[in-house]
Protein backbone atom coordinates (compact mmCIF):
# COMPACT_ATOMS: atom_id res chain seq x y z
CA UNK A 1 0.00 0.00 0.00
CA UNK A 2 2.76 2.32 1.10
CA UNK A 3 4.65 1.44 -2.02
CA UNK A 4 1.67 2.25 -4.24
CA UNK A 5 1.15 5.73 -2.68
CA UNK A 6 4.82 6.51 -2.92
CA UNK A 7 4.91 5.48 -6.55
CA UNK A 8 1.80 7.51 -7.50
CA UNK A 9 2.47 10.47 -5.15
CA UNK A 10 2.71 13.17 -7.81
CA UNK A 11 -0.55 12.44 -9.64
CA UNK A 12 -2.24 11.99 -6.24
CA UNK A 13 -0.97 15.41 -5.04
CA UNK A 14 -2.10 17.04 -8.30
CA UNK A 15 -5.56 15.47 -8.04
CA UNK A 16 -5.81 16.51 -4.34
CA UNK A 17 -4.77 20.12 -5.13
CA UNK A 18 -7.36 20.25 -7.96
CA UNK A 19 -9.96 18.93 -5.57
CA UNK A 20 -9.06 21.43 -2.81
CA UNK A 21 -9.04 24.35 -5.26
CA UNK A 22 -12.39 23.19 -6.69
CA UNK A 23 -13.87 22.92 -3.23
CA UNK A 24 -12.48 26.30 -2.20
CA UNK A 25 -13.80 27.92 -5.39
CA UNK A 26 -17.18 26.32 -4.88
CA UNK A 27 -17.31 27.35 -1.23
CA UNK A 28 -16.09 30.93 -1.69
CA UNK A 29 -18.46 31.38 -4.62
CA UNK A 30 -21.28 30.69 -2.30
CA UNK A 31 -20.13 32.81 0.67
CA UNK A 32 -18.23 35.51 -1.29
CA UNK A 33 -19.46 38.38 0.90
CA UNK A 34 -17.71 36.84 3.89
CA UNK A 35 -14.60 36.28 1.84
CA UNK A 36 -14.57 39.96 0.83
CA UNK A 37 -14.92 41.01 4.45
CA UNK A 38 -12.03 38.81 5.37
CA UNK A 39 -10.01 40.23 2.58
CA UNK A 40 -10.92 43.75 3.70
CA UNK A 41 -9.90 42.90 7.23
CA UNK A 42 -6.52 41.71 6.03
CA UNK A 43 -6.19 44.79 3.86
CA UNK A 44 -6.99 47.01 6.82
CA UNK A 45 -4.46 45.29 8.99
CA UNK A 46 -1.66 45.52 6.45
CA UNK A 47 -2.69 48.88 5.01
CA UNK A 48 -0.10 51.01 6.90
CA UNK A 49 2.64 48.72 5.67
CA UNK A 50 1.23 48.75 2.14
CA UNK A 51 0.85 52.51 2.19
CA UNK A 52 4.42 52.93 3.40
CA UNK A 53 5.69 50.55 0.78
CA UNK A 54 3.69 52.26 -1.94
CA UNK A 55 5.00 55.65 -0.79
CA UNK A 56 8.54 54.34 -0.77
CA UNK A 57 8.04 52.72 -4.16
CA UNK A 58 6.70 55.94 -5.61
CA UNK A 59 9.60 57.93 -4.24
CA UNK A 60 12.21 55.47 -5.43
CA UNK A 61 10.48 55.26 -8.79
CA UNK A 62 10.39 59.02 -9.05
CA UNK A 63 14.05 59.22 -8.00
CA UNK A 64 15.10 56.63 -10.52
CA UNK A 65 12.99 58.43 -13.13
CA UNK A 66 14.67 61.77 -12.25
CA UNK A 67 18.11 60.25 -12.54
CA UNK A 68 17.08 58.87 -15.90
CA UNK A 69 15.69 62.24 -16.88
CA UNK A 70 18.86 64.09 -15.84
CA UNK A 71 20.53 63.33 -19.14
CA UNK A 72 17.47 64.39 -21.09
CA UNK A 73 17.16 67.54 -18.96
CA UNK A 74 20.79 68.39 -19.50
CA UNK A 75 20.33 68.12 -23.25
CA UNK A 76 17.12 70.12 -23.02
CA UNK A 77 18.91 72.76 -20.95
CA UNK A 78 21.68 73.08 -23.53
CA UNK A 79 19.09 73.38 -26.30
CA UNK A 80 17.14 76.00 -24.36
CA UNK A 81 20.30 77.97 -23.64
CA UNK A 82 21.19 77.89 -27.33
CA UNK A 83 17.68 79.07 -28.17
CA UNK A 84 17.96 81.87 -25.60
CA UNK A 85 21.28 82.94 -27.06
CA UNK A 86 19.75 82.90 -30.51
CA UNK A 87 16.77 84.95 -29.36
CA UNK A 88 19.04 87.43 -27.58
CA UNK A 89 21.22 87.87 -30.65
CA UNK A 90 18.07 88.18 -32.78
CA UNK A 91 16.79 90.85 -30.39
CA UNK A 92 20.10 92.72 -30.63
CA UNK A 93 20.11 92.39 -34.39
CA UNK A 94 16.52 93.61 -34.50
CA UNK A 95 17.34 96.67 -32.42
CA UNK A 96 20.37 97.41 -34.63
CA UNK A 97 18.23 96.98 -37.73
CA UNK A 98 15.57 99.22 -36.24
CA UNK A 99 18.19 101.89 -35.52
CA UNK A 100 19.61 101.57 -39.02
CA UNK A 101 16.10 101.63 -40.43
CA UNK A 102 15.40 104.88 -38.57
CA UNK A 103 18.62 106.40 -39.88
CA UNK A 104 17.87 105.35 -43.45
CA UNK A 105 14.25 106.49 -43.14
CA UNK A 106 15.56 109.85 -41.92
CA UNK A 107 17.87 110.07 -44.93
CA UNK A 108 15.00 109.12 -47.23
CA UNK A 109 12.78 111.79 -45.70
CA UNK A 110 15.61 114.28 -46.09
CA UNK A 111 16.00 113.31 -49.74
CA UNK A 112 12.25 113.72 -50.28
CA UNK A 113 12.20 117.05 -48.44
CA UNK A 114 15.11 118.32 -50.50
CA UNK A 115 13.57 117.21 -53.77
CA UNK A 116 15.29 119.91 -55.81
CA UNK A 117 18.65 119.05 -54.28
CA UNK A 118 21.04 116.59 -55.76
CA UNK A 119 22.20 114.33 -52.94
CA UNK A 120 24.29 111.20 -52.86
CA UNK A 121 24.26 108.75 -49.95
CA UNK A 122 27.52 107.49 -48.45
CA UNK A 123 28.75 105.42 -45.50
CA UNK A 124 31.48 106.39 -43.07
CA UNK A 125 34.28 103.84 -43.42
CA UNK A 126 37.08 105.26 -41.27
CA UNK A 127 38.06 108.05 -38.93
CA UNK A 128 41.25 110.01 -38.60
CA UNK A 129 44.01 108.27 -36.62
CA UNK A 130 44.77 111.56 -34.82
CA UNK A 131 42.14 112.31 -32.21
CA UNK A 132 42.61 116.06 -32.46
CA UNK A 133 41.79 116.01 -36.17
CA UNK A 134 38.12 115.43 -36.77
CA UNK A 135 37.87 113.99 -40.24
CA UNK A 136 36.14 110.88 -41.53
CA UNK A 137 36.44 108.91 -44.74
CA UNK A 138 33.29 108.13 -46.73
CA UNK A 139 32.87 105.49 -49.43
CA UNK A 140 31.93 107.86 -52.28
CA UNK A 141 34.41 109.76 -54.41
CA UNK A 142 34.73 111.62 -57.67
CA UNK A 143 33.14 108.68 -59.54
CA UNK A 144 29.91 109.39 -57.65
CA UNK A 145 30.27 113.12 -58.33
CA UNK A 146 31.72 114.05 -54.93
CA UNK A 147 34.25 116.89 -54.98
CA UNK A 148 36.08 118.98 -52.36
CA UNK A 149 33.96 121.78 -50.93
CA UNK A 150 30.67 119.90 -50.98
CA UNK A 151 28.56 119.90 -47.83
CA UNK A 152 27.82 116.65 -46.00
CA UNK A 153 24.58 116.42 -44.04
CA UNK A 154 22.34 114.02 -42.14
CA UNK A 155 18.66 114.54 -41.19
CA UNK A 156 19.76 115.93 -37.80
CA UNK A 157 21.96 118.64 -39.29
CA UNK A 158 25.33 119.52 -40.79
CA UNK A 159 28.15 116.96 -40.59
CA UNK A 160 30.94 118.81 -42.39
CA UNK A 161 32.39 119.33 -45.83
CA UNK A 162 34.46 117.30 -48.25
CA UNK A 163 38.12 118.37 -48.15
CA UNK A 164 39.66 115.72 -50.41
CA UNK A 165 38.30 113.19 -52.87
CA UNK A 166 39.68 110.18 -54.70
CA UNK A 167 37.68 108.24 -57.34
CA UNK A 168 36.24 105.89 -54.68
CA UNK A 169 36.42 107.71 -51.35
CA UNK A 170 36.42 111.19 -49.85
CA UNK A 171 37.68 112.82 -46.68
CA UNK A 172 35.13 114.89 -44.81
CA UNK A 173 36.19 117.53 -42.30
CA UNK A 174 33.61 117.49 -39.50
CA UNK A 175 32.33 120.78 -38.10
CA UNK A 176 34.02 119.67 -34.84
CA UNK A 177 37.49 120.01 -36.41
CA UNK A 178 39.66 122.81 -35.07
CA UNK A 179 40.19 124.08 -38.62
CA UNK A 180 36.49 124.09 -39.46
CA UNK A 181 34.63 127.39 -39.66
CA UNK A 182 31.03 127.64 -40.77
CA UNK A 183 29.17 130.89 -41.45
CA UNK A 184 26.19 130.69 -39.12
CA UNK A 185 23.33 132.64 -37.61
CA UNK A 186 20.95 132.47 -34.70
CA UNK A 187 17.49 131.52 -35.98
CA UNK A 188 15.60 133.67 -33.45
CA UNK A 189 17.61 136.91 -33.52
CA UNK A 190 19.41 136.56 -36.88
CA UNK A 191 22.72 137.36 -35.09
CA UNK A 192 25.51 136.24 -37.41
CA UNK A 193 28.91 134.75 -36.70
CA UNK A 194 31.18 131.79 -37.32
CA UNK A 195 30.80 128.36 -35.76
CA UNK A 196 34.23 126.83 -35.09
CA UNK A 197 35.26 123.40 -33.89
CA UNK A 198 36.16 123.92 -30.26
CA UNK A 199 37.94 120.89 -28.95
CA UNK A 200 38.15 117.26 -29.93
CA UNK A 201 36.96 115.77 -26.65
CA UNK A 202 33.87 117.66 -25.47
CA UNK A 203 32.56 117.69 -29.04
CA UNK A 204 31.13 121.20 -28.61
CA UNK A 205 31.28 124.11 -31.02
CA UNK A 206 32.10 127.78 -30.49
CA UNK A 207 29.80 130.37 -32.05
CA UNK A 208 31.92 133.51 -32.47
CA UNK A 209 29.48 136.37 -32.98
CA UNK A 210 30.26 139.38 -35.15
CA UNK A 211 28.14 141.97 -33.34
CA UNK A 212 29.29 143.73 -30.14
CA UNK A 213 25.91 143.21 -28.50
CA UNK A 214 24.39 140.19 -30.15
CA UNK A 215 21.08 138.83 -29.05
CA UNK A 216 21.78 135.16 -28.41
CA UNK A 217 20.08 133.14 -25.69
CA UNK A 218 20.51 129.67 -24.32
CA UNK A 219 18.42 127.19 -26.30
CA UNK A 220 18.52 129.17 -29.56
CA UNK A 221 18.92 127.13 -32.73
CA UNK A 222 21.94 127.94 -34.89
CA UNK A 223 21.85 127.34 -38.64
CA UNK A 224 24.18 127.90 -41.58
CA UNK A 225 23.94 131.41 -42.96
CA UNK A 226 23.69 132.56 -46.54
CA UNK A 227 27.24 133.94 -46.20
CA UNK A 228 28.60 130.43 -45.79
CA UNK A 229 31.05 129.57 -48.56
CA UNK A 230 30.42 125.84 -48.62
CA UNK A 231 27.10 125.15 -46.96
CA UNK A 232 23.58 125.79 -48.24
CA UNK A 233 21.79 128.28 -45.98
CA UNK A 234 19.42 127.17 -43.24
CA UNK A 235 20.96 123.83 -42.30
CA UNK A 236 20.83 123.07 -38.58
CA UNK A 237 24.18 123.23 -36.77
CA UNK A 238 23.10 122.93 -33.16
CA UNK A 239 21.66 124.59 -30.10
CA UNK A 240 23.21 127.28 -27.90
CA UNK A 241 24.08 125.90 -24.46
CA UNK A 242 26.00 128.83 -22.94
CA UNK A 243 26.78 132.46 -23.78
CA UNK A 244 30.01 134.03 -22.52
CA UNK A 245 31.85 137.29 -23.09
CA UNK A 246 35.33 137.29 -24.56
CA UNK A 247 38.35 138.37 -22.50
CA UNK A 248 37.87 142.15 -22.78
CA UNK A 249 34.09 142.01 -23.07
CA UNK A 250 34.18 143.27 -26.63
CA UNK A 251 32.26 140.42 -28.19
CA UNK A 252 30.24 137.46 -27.09
CA UNK A 253 30.88 133.81 -27.73
CA UNK A 254 28.28 131.07 -27.50
CA UNK A 255 28.91 127.40 -26.91
CA UNK A 256 26.86 125.27 -29.27
CA UNK A 257 25.95 121.62 -28.83
CA UNK A 258 25.97 120.04 -32.30
CA UNK A 259 22.66 118.70 -33.57
CA UNK A 260 24.43 115.66 -35.01
CA UNK A 261 25.56 112.81 -32.77
CA UNK A 262 29.04 112.26 -34.20
CA UNK A 263 29.50 109.03 -32.24
CA UNK A 264 26.76 107.38 -34.26
CA UNK A 265 27.70 108.64 -37.68
CA UNK A 266 27.21 105.80 -40.15
CA UNK A 267 25.29 107.04 -43.19
CA UNK A 268 25.50 110.56 -44.56
CA UNK A 269 24.36 112.57 -47.61
CA UNK A 270 26.69 114.63 -49.76
CA UNK A 271 25.04 117.72 -51.29
CA UNK A 272 26.18 117.60 -54.92
CA UNK A 273 24.12 120.64 -55.86
CA UNK A 274 21.12 122.61 -54.67
CA UNK A 275 18.98 125.26 -56.33
CA UNK A 276 20.10 128.68 -55.13
CA UNK A 277 17.79 130.43 -52.69
CA UNK A 278 16.14 127.20 -51.55
CA UNK A 279 16.18 125.94 -48.00
CA UNK A 280 15.04 122.82 -46.25
CA UNK A 281 11.82 122.48 -44.18
CA UNK A 282 12.02 123.75 -40.56
CA UNK A 283 12.60 120.24 -39.11
CA UNK A 284 15.98 120.23 -40.86
CA UNK A 285 16.75 123.75 -39.68
CA UNK A 286 15.65 125.56 -42.81
CA UNK A 287 12.62 127.68 -43.65
CA UNK A 288 12.37 129.17 -40.20
CA UNK A 289 13.88 132.46 -41.01
CA UNK B 1 64.34 86.85 -37.48
CA UNK B 2 61.23 88.35 -39.07
CA UNK B 3 60.71 90.67 -36.13
CA UNK B 4 63.85 92.67 -37.02
CA UNK B 5 62.84 93.33 -40.63
CA UNK B 6 61.51 96.74 -41.61
CA UNK B 7 58.75 95.33 -43.88
CA UNK B 8 57.44 93.49 -40.79
CA UNK B 9 57.27 96.78 -38.90
CA UNK B 10 55.44 98.41 -41.82
CA UNK B 11 52.87 95.61 -41.94
CA UNK B 12 52.38 95.84 -38.16
CA UNK B 13 51.89 99.61 -38.26
CA UNK B 14 49.52 99.25 -41.22
CA UNK B 15 47.38 96.73 -39.35
CA UNK B 16 47.49 98.88 -36.23
CA UNK B 17 46.37 101.98 -38.12
CA UNK B 18 43.58 100.05 -39.84
CA UNK B 19 42.26 98.86 -36.48
CA UNK B 20 42.68 102.36 -35.04
CA UNK B 21 40.74 104.11 -37.79
CA UNK B 22 38.05 101.55 -38.64
CA UNK B 23 37.48 99.33 -35.60
CA UNK B 24 38.30 101.29 -32.44
CA UNK B 25 35.98 104.23 -33.33
CA UNK B 26 33.12 101.72 -33.12
CA UNK B 27 34.05 101.03 -29.49
CA UNK B 28 35.38 104.33 -28.14
CA UNK B 29 33.49 107.64 -28.34
CA UNK B 30 34.79 110.42 -30.54
CA UNK B 31 37.89 112.08 -29.03
CA UNK B 32 38.72 109.03 -26.91
CA UNK B 33 39.92 106.63 -29.63
CA UNK B 34 43.30 105.30 -28.45
CA UNK B 35 46.49 105.14 -30.47
CA UNK B 36 47.93 101.78 -31.55
CA UNK B 37 51.15 103.15 -33.06
CA UNK B 38 52.44 103.83 -29.55
CA UNK B 39 52.12 100.24 -28.22
CA UNK B 40 53.60 98.84 -31.45
CA UNK B 41 56.55 101.25 -31.24
CA UNK B 42 57.14 100.29 -27.59
CA UNK B 43 57.08 96.57 -28.42
CA UNK B 44 59.44 96.92 -31.40
CA UNK B 45 61.87 99.28 -29.60
CA UNK B 46 62.08 97.00 -26.55
CA UNK B 47 64.07 94.50 -28.62
CA UNK B 48 66.07 96.95 -30.72
CA UNK B 49 69.11 99.19 -30.56
CA UNK B 50 68.39 102.91 -30.01
CA UNK B 51 69.07 103.75 -33.66
CA UNK B 52 66.72 101.06 -34.94
CA UNK B 53 64.16 101.98 -32.25
CA UNK B 54 64.28 105.52 -33.56
CA UNK B 55 63.83 104.25 -37.13
CA UNK B 56 60.84 102.12 -36.11
CA UNK B 57 59.15 105.04 -34.35
CA UNK B 58 59.90 107.29 -37.32
CA UNK B 59 58.27 104.82 -39.73
CA UNK B 60 55.17 104.32 -37.54
CA UNK B 61 54.76 108.03 -36.85
CA UNK B 62 55.26 108.95 -40.48
CA UNK B 63 52.65 106.40 -41.53
CA UNK B 64 50.17 107.89 -39.05
CA UNK B 65 50.99 111.40 -40.29
CA UNK B 66 50.43 110.38 -43.91
CA UNK B 67 47.19 108.67 -42.94
CA UNK B 68 45.94 111.65 -40.91
CA UNK B 69 46.70 114.09 -43.69
CA UNK B 70 47.70 117.18 -41.69
CA UNK B 71 50.76 118.35 -39.76
CA UNK B 72 53.12 115.81 -41.32
CA UNK B 73 55.92 115.17 -38.86
CA UNK B 74 54.24 115.55 -35.47
CA UNK B 75 53.77 111.83 -34.96
CA UNK B 76 57.02 110.97 -36.78
CA UNK B 77 58.95 113.18 -34.35
CA UNK B 78 57.05 111.98 -31.28
CA UNK B 79 57.33 108.28 -31.98
CA UNK B 80 60.93 108.47 -33.26
CA UNK B 81 61.94 110.03 -29.93
CA UNK B 82 59.84 107.47 -28.11
CA UNK B 83 61.41 104.56 -30.01
CA UNK B 84 64.88 105.90 -29.26
CA UNK B 85 64.12 106.40 -25.57
CA UNK B 86 62.55 102.97 -25.11
CA UNK B 87 65.40 101.19 -26.91
CA UNK B 88 67.91 103.21 -24.85
CA UNK B 89 66.14 102.27 -21.61
CA UNK B 90 65.86 98.64 -22.64
CA UNK B 91 69.54 97.88 -21.95
CA UNK B 92 69.29 99.39 -18.45
CA UNK B 93 66.22 97.68 -17.10
CA UNK B 94 65.16 94.16 -16.27
CA UNK B 95 62.92 92.78 -18.96
CA UNK B 96 59.77 90.73 -18.64
CA UNK B 97 56.88 90.17 -21.02
CA UNK B 98 54.06 91.76 -19.07
CA UNK B 99 54.93 94.45 -16.53
CA UNK B 100 57.82 96.21 -18.26
CA UNK B 101 56.07 96.70 -21.65
CA UNK B 102 52.88 97.77 -19.84
CA UNK B 103 54.63 100.23 -17.55
CA UNK B 104 56.80 101.64 -20.32
CA UNK B 105 53.76 102.11 -22.55
CA UNK B 106 51.92 103.86 -19.72
CA UNK B 107 54.89 106.12 -19.08
CA UNK B 108 55.22 106.79 -22.81
CA UNK B 109 51.54 107.72 -23.01
CA UNK B 110 51.98 110.11 -20.09
CA UNK B 111 54.81 111.89 -21.91
CA UNK B 112 53.50 111.75 -25.48
CA UNK B 113 50.18 113.55 -24.90
CA UNK B 114 51.64 116.70 -23.25
CA UNK B 115 54.49 116.71 -25.80
CA UNK B 116 52.01 116.68 -28.67
CA UNK B 117 49.89 119.34 -26.97
CA UNK B 118 52.94 121.65 -26.94
CA UNK B 119 53.76 120.90 -30.60
CA UNK B 120 50.14 121.47 -31.62
CA UNK B 121 50.04 124.80 -29.76
CA UNK B 122 53.23 125.91 -31.48
CA UNK B 123 51.76 125.04 -34.87
CA UNK B 124 48.44 126.81 -34.39
CA UNK B 125 46.13 124.33 -32.70
CA UNK B 126 45.47 126.00 -29.33
CA UNK B 127 43.56 123.21 -27.60
CA UNK B 128 42.67 123.74 -23.95
CA UNK B 129 45.01 121.74 -21.69
CA UNK B 130 42.27 120.26 -19.50
CA UNK B 131 40.17 119.15 -22.45
CA UNK B 132 43.17 117.75 -24.32
CA UNK B 133 44.18 115.72 -21.25
CA UNK B 134 40.66 114.46 -20.58
CA UNK B 135 40.99 111.12 -22.42
CA UNK B 136 44.45 110.43 -20.92
CA UNK B 137 43.25 107.94 -18.23
CA UNK B 138 41.47 105.90 -20.92
CA UNK B 139 44.53 105.92 -23.18
CA UNK B 140 46.83 105.13 -20.25
CA UNK B 141 44.82 102.08 -19.27
CA UNK B 142 44.45 101.01 -22.89
CA UNK B 143 48.17 101.19 -23.68
CA UNK B 144 49.14 99.49 -20.40
CA UNK B 145 46.87 96.56 -21.19
CA UNK B 146 47.24 96.37 -24.96
CA UNK B 147 51.06 96.64 -25.17
CA UNK B 148 51.78 93.37 -23.26
CA UNK B 149 48.94 91.73 -25.21
CA UNK B 150 50.48 92.74 -28.55
CA UNK B 151 53.88 91.61 -27.28
CA UNK B 152 52.39 88.25 -26.27
CA UNK B 153 50.66 87.76 -29.62
CA UNK B 154 53.76 88.67 -31.65
CA UNK B 155 56.10 86.69 -29.39
CA UNK B 156 59.05 89.03 -29.92
CA UNK B 157 62.39 87.89 -28.51
CA UNK B 158 65.68 89.68 -27.77
CA UNK B 159 68.11 89.62 -30.69
CA UNK B 160 70.63 87.27 -29.03
CA UNK B 161 67.89 84.79 -28.18
CA UNK B 162 66.31 84.95 -31.61
CA UNK B 163 69.67 84.51 -33.39
CA UNK B 164 70.60 81.58 -31.11
CA UNK B 165 67.32 79.88 -31.97
CA UNK B 166 67.86 80.73 -35.64
CA UNK B 167 71.40 79.27 -35.53
CA UNK B 168 70.11 76.13 -33.82
CA UNK B 169 67.39 75.61 -36.41
CA UNK B 170 69.88 76.28 -39.25
CA UNK B 171 72.17 73.59 -37.86
Domain residue limits, chain B: 2-166
The whole-number average pLDDT for the span B10-29 is 90
Which residues of chain B neighbour A164 with C-beta distances below 8 Å? Answer: 69
Q: What confidence tier does B141 reach under pLDDT thresholds 50, 70, 90?
A: very high
Question: B69, B125, B136: best mutation site toward chain A, by most A Cβ within 10 Å?
Answer: B69
Nearest by CB to B33, from A125, A127, A179: name it: A127
Determine the residue among A129, A139, A166 to mutate to test chain B binding: the one whose Cβ has the most chain B Cβ atoms within 10 Å. Answer: A129
Burial class from Cβ neighbours inside 10 Å (0-12, 13-18, 19+) for residue B138 reads middle
Question: A193, A166, A191, A159: which is closest to A271 by C-alpha?
Answer: A159
CB contact under 8 A, A171 and B69: yes
| Nearest partner of A189 among A221, A212, A236, judged by Cα | A221
B160 vs A88, which has greater pLDDT? A88
Q: Decide if B127 touches A, using CB distance below 8 A.
A: yes
pLDDT at B144: 93
Cα(A154)–Cα(B44) distance, integer angstroms = 42
Helix or strand holding residue A118 (H, E):
strand A118-127
Coil, helix or strand for A198? coil
Chain B residue numbers touching A263 (CB-CB < 8 A): 29-30
State whether B21 and A135 contact (CB < 8 Å): no
Write the residue in B22, B68, B135 that is nearest to A130 by C-beta: B68
Q: Length of chain A, please?
A: 289
B59-63: list long-range contacts, CB under 8 Å, 24+ apart. B59/B6, B59/B9, B59/B10, B59/B13, B60/B9, B60/B13, B60/B16, B61/B37, B63/B10, B63/B13, B63/B14, B63/B17, B63/B37
User: Is the CB of B68 inside 8 Å of chain A's CB atoms?
Assistant: yes
Residue B101's H or E segment, with its range, is helix B99-122
Of A258-272, B17-31, B133-147, which has the strongest mean pLDDT?
A: B133-147
Tally C-beta pairs within 8 A across A and B.
Answer: 73
Nearest-CA residue of chain A relative to B69? A128
CATH fold for the domain made of B2-166: Arp2/3 complex 21 kDa subunit ARPC3 (1.10.1760)
The pLDDT value recorded for residue B82 is 94
DSSP state of B20: I
How high is the pLDDT of residue B127? Answer: 84
Averaged pLDDT, B24-52: 90
Nearest CB to B31 within list A129, A131, A135: A131
β-strands A252-258, A267-273 pairing: unpaired
| pLDDT for B139 beyond 70 | yes
Shortest distance, CA B67 to any CA of chain A (angstroms): 7
Using a CB-CB distance cutoff of 8 angstroms, which residues of chain B are in contact with residue A203? 30-31
Q: What is the pLDDT of residue A289?
A: 40
Tell me the fold of A116-284: Thrombin, subunit H (2.40.10)
Nearest neighbour of A263 by CB, restricted to B20, B29, B131: B29
How far apart CA A115 and CA B60 sit, in angstroms, is 46
Q: Say yes or no for a CB contact (<8 Å) between B31 and A201.
A: yes
User: In this complex, do B125 and A178 lie within 8 Å of one another by their Cβ atoms?
Assistant: yes
How far apart (Å, rounded) are the C-alpha atoms in residues A141 and A274?
A: 18
Contact yes or no for A131 and B131 at CB 8 A? no
Structure confidence at residue B163 as a pLDDT band (50, 70, 90): low
Q: What is the mean pLDDT of each run of 10 residues along chain A (289 residues)?
A: 82 88 73 65 67 74 74 85 85 79 72 75 87 86 90 89 90 89 87 81 81 82 84 87 77 87 86 70 51
Which chain A residues are Cβ-neighbours of B127 within 8 angstroms?
132, 178, 199-200
Give the pLDDT of residue B164: 66
Amino acid sequence: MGGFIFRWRRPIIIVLVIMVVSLSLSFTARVHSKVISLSNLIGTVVSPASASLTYLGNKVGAGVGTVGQLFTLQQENVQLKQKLLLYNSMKLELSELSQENNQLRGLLNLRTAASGWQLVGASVIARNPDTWLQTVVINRGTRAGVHPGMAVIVPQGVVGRVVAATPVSSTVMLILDANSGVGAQDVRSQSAGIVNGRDPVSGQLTFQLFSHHPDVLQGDAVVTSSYSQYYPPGLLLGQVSKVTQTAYGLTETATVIPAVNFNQLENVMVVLSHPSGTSLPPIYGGGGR
Amino acid sequence: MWQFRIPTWIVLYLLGLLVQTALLPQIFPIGYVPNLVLPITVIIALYETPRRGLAAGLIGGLMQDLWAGRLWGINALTFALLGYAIAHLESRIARDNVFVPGLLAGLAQLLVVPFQWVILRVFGFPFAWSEFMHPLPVWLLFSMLVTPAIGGILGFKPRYEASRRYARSAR
